[in-house]
A = this chain, B = another copy of it.
Amino acid sequence: MYTDLVNFVEQLVPLNSGEWEAAYPFIESLELKRNDFFVEEGDIAQYIAFTRKGYLRVFYNHDGEEITRDISPLNTFVTALPSFISQTPSFEIIQAVTDCDLLIIHRDNLELLYNEYINWQKVGRRVMEEMFVDTQYRIYAFITQTAETRYKEMMKRYPDIFLHVPLQYIASFLGITSQSLSRLRKSIRFEE
């Protein structure tokens, strides 16, 4: 049940059994069916999720168009952070792309953990650091690489995502239209 979460956290900050025991009562389980929402527009994000199974996408409504800013790989933390932090209505929408098994923690309980255990506070910091570094790399990719290179790298790094996530979301994630992605895939097919 908790195996993947434990492994993920332990890799960042080794915790003793007391620290884990304190956390378990706060960890709830949530199953989402495909297309279910984890956070809807205007919601105040109360939970942070760890994706045990399935894929979530984070998107915005931008002039009636859905802009996918993130597709969560397996075993990562996901929430609408601006809303979660400041308890304001969320402009980010989080939806299940496939059926999902999530572990979720309520913000209030996470605060309790954070304030009681310096090591849980540290986990929070380390998770954010890693997410920040990932995001910086993505900016680097936007600056230096063409959409084709970004696509190929994504294929290499997250092949599983391509098996489960519609191409239109992937296109948006890569910063191009689905038509451009289609063209790009065609040109790759005839490459070698």
Contacts and interface: CB of A to CB of B under 8 A. Distances in A.
Interface of A: 60, 62, 67, 69-70, 81-82, 85, 114-115, 118, 121-122, 124-125, 128-129, 131-133, 135-136, 138-140, 142-144, 172-173, 175
A41 B175 CA distance: 30
Q: Copies per complex?
A: 2
A129 B133 CA distance: 12
A71 B17 CA distance: 43
Contact of A81 (B115, B129, B139): B129
A45 to B, nearest CB: 13
Contacts of A136: 69-70, 81, 135
Contact of A128 (B69, B114, B132): B132
A143 B81 contact: no
B140 A139 contact: no
Nearest to A174: B143
B81 A142 contact: no
